[in-house]
Amino acid sequence: MNQQINWKCVYKTNSEFAANALKGNLEHAGLNPVVVNKRDSSFTIGYVEIHVPEDQEAEALLLVEDLNDE
């Protein structure tokens, strides 16, 4: 059975380093984040986003908020 995952964006940044650091923190918390790079490689415009499965969105948003408060 093929199950489709609905992904939700929980964080957006200009920094690929920051996105990957947050991805590691979310993975450590048991979530399944992915980095979605929406930057233009020729120009340094656009964003890097962190997406999680829809059923993990609320927990991920709380963790993002906690990490940004530190």
Question: What's the CATH number where 43 sits?
Answer: 3.30.70.1530
Residue 28 lies in a domain: yes
Kindly report the average pLDDT of the chain as a whole number: 91
In the chain, the number of structural domains is: 1
Domain range holding 31? 7-69
1 domain residue, yes or no: no
At residue 1, the pLDDT reads: 57
Q: Is residue 2 a part of any domain in this protein?
A: no
Segment 27-36, tens digit of pLDDT: 999 999 999 9
> Could you tell me if residue 39 is inside a domain?
yes
- The reported pLDDT for the residue numbered 68 is 79
Per-residue burial over 26-63, b = 16 or more CB atoms within 10 Å of its CB, e = otherwise: beeeebebeeeeeeeeeeeeebbbbbbeeebbeebeeb
DSSP helix/strand/coil, 42: coil
Bridge-partner residues for 8, per DSSP?
A: 52
- Does some domain include residue 57? yes
Per-residue pLDDT of the chain (70 residues; tens, 9 = 90+): 568 889 999 999 999 999 999 999 999 999 999 999 998 877 778 899 999 999 999 999 999 999 877 6
pLDDT in the model for residue 39: 84
Distance, CA of 69 to CA of 50 (rounded, Å): 18
